Amino acid sequence: MADDLKKGLEGVLVAESDLSSIDGDAGRLIYRGYPIEALAAGASFEEVLYLLWYGHLPDEGELAAFTEAMAAERSVDPAILETVRSLADAGEEPMAALRTATSMLSATEPEGEADAEDLEASLRKGRRITAKIPTVLAAFERYRQGEEPLDPDPALGLAENFLYLFTGEQPDPVAAETFDQALILHADHGLNASTFTSMVIASTMADVYSAITGGIGALSGPLHGGANQDVMEVLIEIDESDLEPRNWVEQATEEGRRIPGFGHRVYNVKDPRAKILRERSAELAEEGDSKWYDITTTLEAYLTDEKGLPEKGIAPNVDFYSGSVYYQLGIPIDMYTPIFAMSRSGGWIAHVLEYQRDNRLIRPRARYTGPEEQAFVPLQER
């Protein structure tokens, strides 16, 4: 029996899915058959959401209707925004504020929707969640800057509208395109810990708000979505240290520190998303401050060429370059993981709906290793 216990469910197949496939040896990721490189270069985040949720890339008419429907769902109930304000005033972490606000959204479902539990209703609820997360996050940021939230602009796409709400300015085309690509890259990734969390919750036939709130909780951990914030904090630590980046990482690895953004449960080679984000980071570096890109590439070169981590199957993952990209877009570090959730809500919803279509309660077993047959002793005799 010992060899059939797979701690962390490593390598265990628990479902079939049409949504995304990862080849960890080839470093390949596809969404419903489309290579991530093609989607990042040629599609918008809205097209990718449509692909994940409806099963095919939209034509122009479908995309226009979908984009309009999503834009119409961006507003957030004032009572929830007041809670977001109080969380910002209390200094709450943005990821925790997002978890709380997302859970509250279920109380503002349109008349008759709240009790609807068919899959079509779940998709409408999921669409509302993905449409409202940008509004919640931008409002949180504006509140903690002492500003009032701006109203969403229905004329802008999801990525552009978020940057507008977040910064108060119309984003430049390069920033908007780069951010839209980052959302595409983070949208789905098989049964990662947060997606699987959402599926476990969905497998009890619980509602989509419970599933997405659980996904946000799982994503917040430093071994998962939280790594992008840790990467940027390491870059700043290096920049503020007296050591040159290469000497810093040599000393850090000699001290046994794990560099965040390296290593992955599935990829044994460089994450294809990291390759694309490295290119975006290089472009932003050319226009702005190349310091962060330079430090990141120095770390990669040392860990790859001198430490030889890839020979052990440890290579850059999606978080390794997203830090320097978001930093160069002027996004605060503690917003990186919430932005990951903004995008991944698309994948969570797609997996929840796909799994519930052919549902099976997820309920694994544990091998009991505690004592057997304990004789009960009443309290007064213990």
314 or 339: CB nearest ligand SDX: 314
Residue 264 annotated as catalytic: yes
67 or 317: CB nearest ligand SDX: 317
228 or 328: CB nearest ligand SDX: 228
176 or 299: CB nearest ligand SDX: 299
Integer Cα distance of 204 and 296 in angstroms: 43
What residue number has its CB nearest to ligand SDX?
263
290, burial (CB in 10 Å: exposed 0-12, middle 13-18, buried 19+): middle
Q: What is the residue-wise DSSP string for 179-229?
A: HHHHHHHTS--SS-HHHHHHHHHHTTT--HHHHHHHHHHHHTSTTTTTHHH
Residue 224 annotated as catalytic: yes
Q: CB 187 → ligand SDX: shortest distance, Å?
A: 9
What SS3 state is found at 28? strand
Which residues here bind ligand SDX, judged by CB under 6 A?
189, 192, 223-225, 227, 258-266, 314, 317-319
Cβ-based neighbour number of residue 18 at 10 Å: 12
Tell the residue number behind the tokens 């030889």, with chain if given. 308
Integer Cα distance of 157 and 170 in angstroms: 12
DSSP 335: G
Q: CB 193 → ligand SDX: shortest distance, Å?
A: 6
Choosing from 186, 189, 224, 351, the catalytic residue is 224
- Which amino acid is located at 142 in the chain? R
Choosing from 180, 207, 230, 264, the catalytic residue is 264
Report the alpha-carbon angle 272-274-275, nearest 5: 65
Strand partners for 28: 23
Residue 56 annotated as catalytic: no
Choosing from 180, 207, 230, 319, the catalytic residue is 319
Q: CB 292 → ligand SDX: shortest distance, Å?
A: 17
- With the C-alpha atoms ordered 243, 245, 246, 248, is the resulting torsion angle positive or negative? positive
Q: CB 289 → ligand SDX: shortest distance, Å?
A: 24
160 or 230: CB nearest ligand SDX: 230
Q: CB 186 → ligand SDX: shortest distance, Å?
A: 7
Q: Hey, which residues are catalytic here?
A: 224, 264, 319
